[in-house]
Structures are given as structure tokens and as C-alpha cells.
Amino acid sequence: MSAEPGVNPADEMVVGRESAWHEGAAGAASPVKSLPLVSIPTSAAPSTGSGVPTKPSWLGMSAVEQERWVTEVAGQAKFRRKQIEKWIFQQRATSFNDMTDLPLAFRERLAAEFTIFTGQVVRHQVSKDGTEKLLIEFPPMGRHGAGRIECVLIREKQRRTICVSSQVGCGMGCVFCASGLDGVDRSLQVNEILEQMLRITGVLPVDERLSHIVMMGMGEPLANLPNVLPALEVASSDFGLGISPRRITISTVGLTKSIDRLLEVGKRYQLAISLHAPTNSLRNQIVPTNEKIGVEGIMEAAARFKRETGRRLTFEYVLLGGINDTLEAAEDLADLLAGQDALVNLIPYNPVAGLPYATPSNQAIARFRKVLEDRGVVVKCRQRKGDDIDAACGQLRRLVDKSSVGLADGN
């Protein structure tokens, strides 16, 4: 089986599933269409260094599988599953023992056979601007060792946005990105994606909740659709985090076949394309996968997504000082987007130690933006957040790995 650039062929071979991942409010199944879903059977549960499986995650099973265990294995009424779900997603329970309206014996059996969180917080940092970053280590799984990933809470006025990782590392090879410096180790499982959301929810005051989700952390989300989409299905459900699909954005470097697949199974969500350059000659230097895809192919896939969904296209553009922030690049980008209902999200580069790239000057950013706006392109310039806590994807993981910091207690 052929795979797109940076996509592990093993990730394309998805185990079939007979059941929907999540049930709707009325109890009817609401499957993610056309795409088989993946859960974590006990045999594939994370393992310790000795290879002995740990307890599987309750979040790694579908609603149907959870209900079957509750009724057929534990001998409880099926409404108990929804009680558990409410405790985890709405009441922020981190332990089955917290679920006080469940029978004690049932709580004890749940705790004996399952865990809610499989990861451990290695580092929790808080920026002076309110941004918070968690470095989470998940235990070894199969042939893969322990994997560290990052998730970020971004505060903007009334918004509470989480930036979620989809893989341990990244295989796309963007030259400026810390996430991909060591390549990709593995894709995250459904429970590991959901755990990031729950961990970030746990640092919010009790009267606040997440309002937006962006799949823009470590990894390429479209290379892990079999796990990303089920996790987002739970996050957007009434029994999950209740976040509107219109407030959920999936970012991609531009895997065209996967964009089309997303159209088939997940077009409720917003799509952001990490473009970073308007021409093949420049983009090939910045995004190596472009050599096999091409700017033209990306724009055609984006146009199909726009035509089918009616959603405005968003293009992420990281500004690298002296490389893609020139007036010529701005004019080329304006030409590329002429006549399209598109938003360009300009992102001044967040420097990464060891990489030879710099943040453009304020004057260069302003000039670039003016060219686009004068040509009728809608532009948003993202305010840099969390510089003092290494908030760019992959920075904190590399910093901690190099310093060999031991596991923290979550503080």
C-alpha cells in the first residue's frame, strides 16, 4: 500500500470496527462515516519497560465497548456508563474513586481493571501572558518506547483554546519546527488525544471550560485520522466536552489524499493548511514533503474542501526572517489567493535553539501584511504566546530531554 509523504503505511491499515465510537443524546449511535475506528484492546495497552501491559485506558474503548463491559462483565445497568462519562468529561474526575454515585464495589472493579489517564505530567509551565504548557509522557507501547508530547492552553479574552498533539514527534520535516527534528515515533491513540484535553481542562478554574480545539500540536493530524476523528467526536459530543465542531480546527501540512478523506468523514470541522510559502521553489526548501505534493495540488484539495463545506479556507504562514517574509513572497502569495475566500494567519517565527531561523522584524511583518491586505486578502497576525515557556511545538520536550529532568508531580 502506498502512503503519502510522512505517513506511516501501518497507520493507513486500520482495524475494522463494528460499532460507533460515541452515542448521541438520545442513545442512538452517531458513527464517524466511512472510516473504521480504532480502540486500544488490552493486548495493545501501553506496557512498562519490562513489556508487561499496564491497565488499559477506559477512554480507549468505544461507547459500545464500554457499555458491553458495564452490563455483561460487571453486571451493572447500562446507564452506569453515562455516569462514568459525565464524571470524566463534565466533573473532571481523575479517579474512579471520585465517582461517588457509583456503587463502591463497581468503583473498585473499575479501578482494578482500568485507568483514566495513562500518561504522567513531566512538566507544567505557566507563562506571564497566561499561556500554559503541559509536557506529558505516555508509557511504552509495543516496539515504541515512552513518548513525550506537548499540549498548550492559550488564553485570549474569553477564549480558552487547547493546542493538541496527534503524534509523538512529526514526520513532515518542516525545517523550522522543533517537533520534527527527531522524526516521528508513533501516532497517538484516541485515549492519549482525549487525555490532553482533560489534563488542560483540569488546570482551568472550575467556572471556566475549553471553548476551542486546534489540532496544531506535535505531529501531522491527517496522518492519524483513525484516532484523531474519534477523539474529536467525543470532544464535540454533548456527553463529552460539548465543543462545537465549528470551534474545532484540524491543521495539516497539506496531505491532499487525506484532505479528501477528511471531506468524506469529518467535514464538520474547520481546516487550516500550513502553507508557509506561495511557490514550489520556496516551499520545497521549507516543507520537504512539498516535492511530492506541490502547491498546485494543495490548492486544488483546499478548493474541493471549500466547495463541499462552504467554510472559509485558512492558510497558516510562519514568517521566517529573510526567507519567506519578502515583498516578492507577499506578492506571490496574493497572486495565489486572488479571488478566494481565504484567511491568512501570519505567524511570526518562534525561535528554536539550534535552528538557524529568526523572527522577522516588526517592519517586515507589517510590510508583508500590507501587501496582502492591499490585494484584498483577509489577514490575521497571530500574537506570539508563551515565549518564556518554550511554547512552540516540540521545544519543551527537547529542552527537558536534554536536561534529563525526572518526572515531576504535575506542578
Decide which of 58, 87, 113 is a domain's last residue: 113
Residues 94, 131 share a domain: no
Residues 165, 296 share a domain: yes
pLDDT score of 194: 98
C-alpha cell at 352: 528554536
CA distance 214 to 126: 19
Look at residues 317, 398, 347, 345 and name the one whose alpha carbon lies nearest to residue 150.
Answer: 398
Would residue 9 count as lying in a domain? no
Would residue 3 count as lying in a domain? no
Report the domain count for the chain: 2
pLDDT score of 382: 75
CA distance 345 to 365: 12
Whichever domain contains 361, its CATH number is 3.20.20.70
Decide which of 52, 82, 113 is a domain's last residue: 113
Residues in CB range of 133: below 8 A, 6 or more apart: 123, 124, 125, 127, 150, 151, 152, 153, 386, 389, 390, 391, 396
Give residue 395's domain range: 120-403
Would residue 228 count as lying in a domain? yes
Residues 85, 195 share a domain: no
- Compute φ and ψ for 198, nearest 5 degrees: -70, -40
Residues 131, 69 share a domain: no
Give the chain's end-to-end CA distance (angstroms, integer). 45
Residues 227, 299 share a domain: yes
pTM: 0.82
Q: Tell me the torsion sign for CA atoms 22, 24, 28, 33.
A: negative
Residues 327, 211 share a domain: yes
Q: What amino acid occupies position 321?
A: G
Residues 297, 195 share a domain: yes
Residues 148, 43 share a domain: no
Residues 222, 149 share a domain: yes
CA distance 390 to 403: 14
Residues 391, 246 share a domain: yes
Whichever domain contains 72, its CATH number is 1.10.150.530
Would residue 154 count as lying in a domain? yes
Would residue 186 count as lying in a domain? yes
Active-site choice (150, 192, 220, 316): 150
Would residue 409 count as lying in a domain? no
Decide which of 113, 134, 161 is a domain's last residue: 113
pLDDT score of 178: 82
pLDDT score of 45: 55
Would residue 290 count as lying in a domain? yes
Tens-binned pLDDT, residue by residue, of the chain (411 aa): 443 333 333 333 232 222 333 333 333 333 333 333 333 333 345 555 444 447 999 999 999 999 999 999 999 999 999 999 999 999 999 999 999 999 999 999 999 999 999 999 999 999 998 999 999 999 998 898 889 999 999 999 999 999 999 999 998 989 998 877 778 999 999 999 999 999 999 999 999 999 999 999 999 999 999 999 999 999 999 999 999 999 999 999 999 999 999 998 877 899 999 999 999 999 999 999 999 999 999 999 999 999 999 999 899 999 999 999 999 999 999 999 998 889 999 999 988 888 999 999 999 999 999 999 999 999 999 765 656 555 455 454 445 454 433 333 333
- Active-site annotation holds for 150: yes
Q: Is 168 helix (H, G, I), strand (E, B) or coil?
A: strand
Residues 197, 54 share a domain: no
CA distance 285 to 395: 22
DSSP 288: T
Residues 161, 55 share a domain: no
Would residue 13 count as lying in a domain? no
Beta strands 120-126 and 132-138 are: antiparallel
Going through 193-284 in order, the beta strands assigned E by DSSP cover 212-215, 248-252, 270-274
